[in-house]
Amino acid sequence: MPIQVAPSILAADFANLQSEVELLNKSQADYIHVDIMDGIFVPNISFGIPVTEAIYRHAQKPLDVHLMITNPDLYLEAFRNAGASVISVHIEACSHLNRSIQSIKSLGAKAGVTLNPHTSVTLLEDSIESLDVVCLMSVNPGFGGQKFIENTYSKITRLKELILAKGAKTLIEVDGGVNLENAPRLKEVGADILVAGSFVFNSVDPIQTIAELKAI
Ligand SMILES: O=C(CO)[C@H](O)[C@H](O)COP(=O)(O)O
């Protein structure tokens, strides 16, 4: 299966927000990855529901909404109504993961669970079959532009083994510090979706960079 690419909106200001969405519309990106940070679950605040709606109004790609927030269950419906096609919650933020996954699915979105770098994939043994996507954080969440954590490769291998052992169809997404140097190995060990923010938007030609990631 060809690799999917989900560039992460940086949105440093309103002008960037609009131009980033327009650029991604013209690119080979499969998704637009929207990072929601609440300043509690992660030490940074990004944007919320109205900005997600604004992105959706202009986007010609499905939105992959990554909730880096506490109590995500309270906001699932609002983000679905704001245009999310995929909603990912952090396992570390969910006391009742099964309920969160069922809620996302009942809203008609694809259900994703994200794991921080220290969180073991073994925690997914009893939920993997119900998940459309597992997102492995390859940096500590909260900020773009960080260095890729190397043990992500072995974590992908272990997650892939779990998926195959359970006969699940779950896709593996990797988020943080992704670039053209680590992307080939990420695909080789089992990644299906690559999230890349600064590597795409800080490059000279983001559309070309996305095409190069897609070509892996
Ligand atoms: O969500 C993140 C951190 O919380 C990611 O790092 C972001 O989605 C991608 O940014 P970059 O490619 O610059 O690491």
Task: Work out the number of other CB atoms within 10 angstroms of the CB of residue 26.
Answer: 11
In ligand 1, the atom with minimum distance to the C-alpha of 141 is 4
CB of residue 196 inside a 6 A radius of ligand 1: yes
Q: Are 63 and 39 in contact (CB under 8 A)?
A: no
pLDDT, the chain, mean: 96
Q: Which CATH architecture has domain 4-214?
A: Alpha-Beta Barrel (3.20)
| Structure confidence at residue 37 (pLDDT) | 97
CB of residue 141 inside a 6 A radius of ligand 1: yes
In ligand 1, the atom with minimum distance to the C-alpha of 33 is 8
Task: Please choose, from the candidates 84, 82, 131, 137, the residue with its C-alpha nearest in 3D space to the C-alpha of residue 111.
Answer: 131
- What would the pLDDT profile of 197-209 be if each residue is shown by its tens digit? 999 999 999 999 9
143, 178, 202, best to mutate for ligand 1 pocket (most atoms within 8 Å of CB) = 143
Residue 167 backbone zone (phi > 0: left; psi -120 to 50: alpha; other: beta): left
83 in a labelled binding site: no
Band of pLDDT at residue 85, cut at 50, 70 and 90 = very high
Band of pLDDT at residue 13, cut at 50, 70 and 90 = confident
35 in a labelled binding site: yes
Q: Are 174 and 194 in contact (CB under 8 A)?
A: yes
- What would the pLDDT profile of 133-182 be if each residue is shown by its tens digit? 999 999 999 999 999 999 999 999 999 999 999 999 999 999 999 999 99
The alpha carbon of 74 and the centre of ligand 1 are apart by a number of angstroms equal to 24
CA distance 4 to 7: 10
Domain boundaries, the chain: 4-214
Indicate whether 70 pLDDT > 90. Answer: yes
Task: Please choose, from the candidates 121, 141, 99, the residue with its C-alpha nearest in 3D space to the C-alpha of residue 190.
Answer: 121
Q: Per the residue annotation, which of 35, 38, 64, 132 is the catalytic one?
A: 35
Q: Residue 71, Cα to own-chain centre: how many angstroms?
A: 18
| Structure confidence at residue 195 (pLDDT) | 98
Band of pLDDT at residue 15, cut at 50, 70 and 90 = confident
| Structure confidence at residue 62 (pLDDT) | 98
Cα angle 211-174-107, degrees, rounded to a multiple of 5: 100
| Structure confidence at residue 129 (pLDDT) | 98
Task: Work out the number of other CB atoms within 10 angstroms of the CB of residue 125.
Answer: 12
Q: Are 193 and 7 in contact (CB under 8 A)?
A: no
7: which strand partners?
196
Indicate whether 101 pLDDT > 80. Answer: yes
| Structure confidence at residue 23 (pLDDT) | 96
Predicted ipTM > 0.90: yes
The alpha carbon of 195 and the centre of ligand 1 are apart by a number of angstroms equal to 7
Percentage with pLDDT > 90 across the chain: 95
Indicate whether 11 pLDDT > 90. Answer: no
Rg for the chain (alpha carbons), in Å? 16
CB of residue 34 inside a 6 A radius of ligand 1: no
Query: Among this protein's residues, is 13 annotated catalytic?
Result: no
Q: Per the residue annotation, which of 30, 132, 175, 192 is the catalytic one?
A: 175
| Structure confidence at residue 169 (pLDDT) | 98
Band of pLDDT at residue 63, cut at 50, 70 and 90 = very high
Query: Among this protein's residues, is 175 annotated catalytic?
Result: yes
In ligand 1, the atom with minimum distance to the C-alpha of 138 is 6
The alpha carbon of 145 and the centre of ligand 1 are apart by a number of angstroms equal to 6
Band of pLDDT at residue 10, cut at 50, 70 and 90 = confident
Task: Please choose, from the candidates 101, 136, 104, the residue with its C-alpha nearest in 3D space to the C-alpha of residue 119.
Answer: 136
Task: Please choose, from the candidates 144, 157, 146, 212, the residue with its C-alpha nearest in 3D space to the C-alpha of residue 185.
Answer: 157
User: Do β-strands 32-37 and 63-68 pair in parallel, antiparallel, or remain unpaired?
Assistant: parallel
Task: Please choose, from the candidates 191, 211, 201, 212, the residue with its C-alpha nearest in 3D space to the C-alpha of residue 21.
Answer: 201
